[in-house]
Structure 1
Amino acid sequence: MMIKKNIFPFALLIASMSLVSWGVVAHRSIAKIAENHLTPKTKIAVTALLGTETIPLVSTYADEVRSAKEFSYTAPWHYINLKQGLNYQEYVVALKADTGANVYNALLKMEKQLKDAKSSREEKVFALKFIIHLIGDLHQPFHVGRGEDKGGNDIKVKFRGRETNIHALWDSGLVEYNGFSFTEMATAFDNVSEEKIKQWQNDDVTVWLFESYQIATLLYAEAAENSDFDYTYYPNHSEIYKERMQKAGIRLAGYLNKIYK
């Protein structure tokens, strides 16, 4: 009985961790795609900071440390919630007017820290690890969702008969549906044309966020109409999550390449 009492809280902890960000498979797949598209100069610079660690390995660092007291201030860095119904121009105005802790401001802050010649090596490593993670996060639609439902965490749904919430479903449920490892997923998804790569990497960060915002709006509306998702939900949405992950990986590579150009 004592063993069961010890295991149960641990199981709850693991379950709660799945609600905060793209799951491990997603983040590492995104990071692996990015790694495949780094310039030689960027690879050297990144390796100089990370040492024996790889980009996929450190892609979950920001989630791993957020529960530690000394890093609790980073919790709001993983998402942003703005009011619904905005067009792109309105969204950008609202985004730049929000001076609080959010994924957009955190990304800009970490970029500045990474590029600052006065930053210590430790500060640069920290900034790089967070950049790798945050670019993944902001491509997950419900990290750019509504504040009133905690980015979909309070939206209860069923997926193939099992109860979950829509944030968790998009964090890991859909991503892990096929049972791919992160290397298998990265291999399967890293097939984007050079034309799209150029286009995606030229898009402003505000565009990345607005894309997630628009997708979240669509997904919210679908769930409001019918929250019992059957076997058709995955095939009907798999291309959406696939492209979000592709864009995250390609854009992460472009972001780092520009920093080290």
Structure 2
Amino acid sequence: MMLLILLIFLAKAPATQSWGSEGHYITCKIAQPLLSEAAANAVQKLLPSSAEGDLASVCSWADTVRSIYPWSSSLHFANPPNVCNYDYTRDCHNTQGEKDMCVAGAINNYTSQLASYGDLSTAVPYNLAESLMFLSHLIGDIHQPLHLGFISDLGGNRITVQWYTEETNLHHVWDSKIINETLKEFYDLEVSAMIEDLQRNITGGWSDEVPTWDSCSKDSLSCIVRYASESISLACEWAYKDVTADAILGDDYFLSRLPIVEKRLAQGGVRLAATLNRIFSSGIDFSK
């Protein structure tokens, strides 16, 4: 009941910065059809009733609880010290220096929490519905390159740019502006059409790459560090490249960066599904 009340309240709350709501929705829509039967059953059991079985409907939940859970703000990002590589020991902490308080540490933590689902031998000390919603959101975040951007500019938040005729910042360009421009220019604002295109690429043009996206050792942290390392590399190669303060970003920037955004959304979805499939692969029948 408390979770339902919280979700109703948060539906009215303003969103904060992350992959925009469309980006998280897309990632989770890609993930859900890729779930194994066991994972799909567990997700259905854990989702709040207000979600009506749709994981994507709560994939922006973690953004809306930052004012209620102030400690969670640092869980959406990790900022290396102006170098194009990610080091977990060096980079995973909050502004108070607390270790593991970053997007990679949080994904690892919520993965571990969800692994306790179905364990009847002991009381589970976690709200696993919230664990699922945090995990689903944060796997999206770790695939947004500027969530692993430099600490000096807070992942591009301090870099003011002009997106066509609108003043914004570089981080917001990657969170929302590129996706929104794509929806406007190519999909008549239909998110479902963009999702279908990405799904076709996953089974078509990217199909040779996909097995490498979701391959992961049993050591979940090593996979998470890999996702983070990809993002800071892409931030250096694409997000920051040729961008200075007050730069005007238009068609050249949009069209050259769009393929990166599309693939990161797809990778996030495939990897979220793979993560949930690994978590719930214990053989327990979660449908009962």
- TM-score by length of structure 2 reads 0.77
Q: How far off its partner does 1:166 sit?
A: 0.5
SS at match of 1:215: helix
Q: Which residue of 1 aligns with 2:103?
A: 103
Task: Give the letter aligned to residue 131 of structure 2.
Answer: A
**Cα distance in 2, alignment partners of residues 53 and 148 from structure 1:** 41
SS at match of 2:208: helix
**Cα distance in 1, alignment partners of residues 53 and 24 from structure 2:** 15
1:113/1:127 contact within 8 Å kept: yes
Task: Give the letter aligned to residue 111 of structure 2.
Answer: E
1:197 aligns with 2:210: yes
1:200/1:250 contact within 8 Å kept: yes
**Cα distance in 2, alignment partners of residues 164 and 139 from structure 1:** 21
Q: How far off its partner does 1:84 sit?
A: 2.9
* Structure 2: runs of 5+ lacking an equivalent: 1-12, 217-222, 282-288
Task: Give the letter aligned to residue 162 of structure 1.
Answer: E
Give the stretch that moved more between structures: 51-60 or 27-36.
51-60
Q: Which residue of 2 aligns with 1:35?
A: 32
1:49/1:121 contact within 8 Å kept: no
Identical residues among aligned pairs (%): 28
1:113/1:119 contact within 8 Å kept: no
SS at match of 2:180: coil
Q: Would the alpha carbon gap of residues 56 and 233 (structure 1) be closer, same or farther in structure 2, given more than 3 Å must change?
A: same
**Cα distance in 2, alignment partners of residues 163 and 42 from structure 1:** 43
1:77/1:103 contact within 8 Å kept: yes
2:162/2:246 contact within 8 Å kept: no
1:154 aligns with 2:158: yes
**Cα distance in 2, alignment partners of residues 119 and 241 from structure 1:** 41
* Structure 1: runs of 5+ lacking an equivalent: 1-12
**Cα distance in 1, alignment partners of residues 130 and 175 from structure 2:** 23
Q: Which residue of 1 aligns with 2:79?
A: 81
* Residue of 90, 96, 100 corresponding to 1:94: 90
* Residue of 249, 263, 267 corresponding to 1:243: 263
Structure 1 vs Structure 2 CA RMSD = 2.3
1:10-49 equivalence runs, <5 A: 14=14, 17-18=15-16, 20-49=17-46
Task: Give the letter aligned to residue 144 of structure 2.
Answer: Q
Count of matched residue positions in the alignment of Structure 1 and Structure 2: 242
